[in-house]
Structure 1
């Protein structure tokens, strides 16, 4: 079986839960390099777009008692996914959606998203979230709605496949011991990353 067939079957097996580019990136072992942001250069995004992606990802998964999306390098993961795994039409749609988020912020507050107050950013993203996930399936979606669905998916995959997400947010035992198939969640507290 070749790689293309394996990806197709994995997509069918997952039942469309994750987008094909996301599955391809995870299967390819796409991981952000461990370099400080100052020396990291985005591949598909401009520096400004990467900062915008980092800010949006941090709103989706903010730092709490565990580090947030920015600390996990989710913006780097997303840049690598868009550069390597997205075909040109999907890459163009992603970038158009990113620009539309900035345009919506400018229409609402007269400033680009990154220059808006944190509360204004949150309100805009909550509106996008409601639009993206509460819209009827027969309604055509604009670039910002499609972008936000993709952005949320990539943020979650990037975070929970990062070292921070897998070891600090989820339980992680590098060499697991005994298998106990029926354990109440209250007993273990969190789900496990293996």
Structure 2
């Protein structure tokens, strides 16, 4: 492994560990602060389409319904350095260019299958040698983190109970198993 790659990986891991207290607690869209960054409304729509493509709605709400795109924006604006924020904002252009090259339409105008194909293609080919982040994998990781830590998913799908949880001090014990050893 190259030294630069190792340092980059360790740096991103350190940022992830620093934000663990935020991820441990569940969140809802109403609790998130407004993300004030370099992202315009078209890019916000594109991000909503990306998170919807990454985790679509089935019999449970998808990432778009849980407003994971807002979570991604808050994480980028509050937890990453300015250089990463600028690369994140510039990454939308690469996705839009790829969709226009392949389909002749902007990313937000594509169908779900076409969006999925564009993101998979970029996920497989995108390598960041001179950049701090690879845009599509970065968005995918933050989308998964946001979805799995949302209040809806933790309470309704994972049956997670916030600490200190409940304590049941009165339950039957098989005495033969513990006292006749």
Shared fold by TM > 0.5? yes
1:51 has 2:51 as partner: no
1:34 has 2:27 as partner: no
CA spacing shift, 1:64–1:160, aligned 2, 3 Å: same
1:154 has 2:142 as partner: yes
Q: Where has structure 1 moved over 6 Å in runs of 4 or more?
A: none
Structure-1 separation of matches of 2:140 and 2:81: 19
1:34 partner SS: coil
Instruction: Specify every segment of 5 or more residues in structure 1 that has no aligned partner in the other structure, as ranges.
Output: 1-14, 133-138, 179-194
| Deviation for aligned residue 1:117 | 2.3
| Deviation for aligned residue 1:165 | 2.0
RMSD: 3.0
| Deviation for aligned residue 1:67 | 0.8
Q: Which has the higher contact order (CA 8 A, sep 6+)?
A: 2
Instruction: Specify every segment of 5 or more residues in structure 2 that has no aligned partner in the other structure, as ranges.
Output: 1-8, 169-181
CA spacing shift, 1:142–1:69, aligned 2, 3 Å: farther
Structure-2 separation of matches of 1:169 and 1:90: 32
Give the counterpart of 1:110 among 99, 104, 114: 104
Structure-1 separation of matches of 2:91 and 2:160: 35
Structure-1 separation of matches of 2:156 and 2:28: 18
User: Residue in 1 aligned with 2:3?
Assistant: none
Structure-1 separation of matches of 2:41 and 2:34: 7
Scaled by the length of structure 1, what TM-score is found? 0.67
| Deviation for aligned residue 1:171 | 2.2
| Deviation for aligned residue 1:156 | 0.8
User: Residue in 1 aligned with 2:156?
Assistant: 168
1:171 partner SS: coil
Q: How many residues align?
A: 153
User: Residue in 1 aligned with 2:122?
Assistant: 128
Which string of whole-angstrom CA distances, capped at 9 and with x for unpartnered residues, describes residues 54-98 of structure 1? 111111111112111011221001111111111111111111222
Report if the CA contact (8 A) 1:54-1:70 is conserved.
yes
1:172 partner SS: coil
Structure-2 separation of matches of 1:162 and 1:104: 31
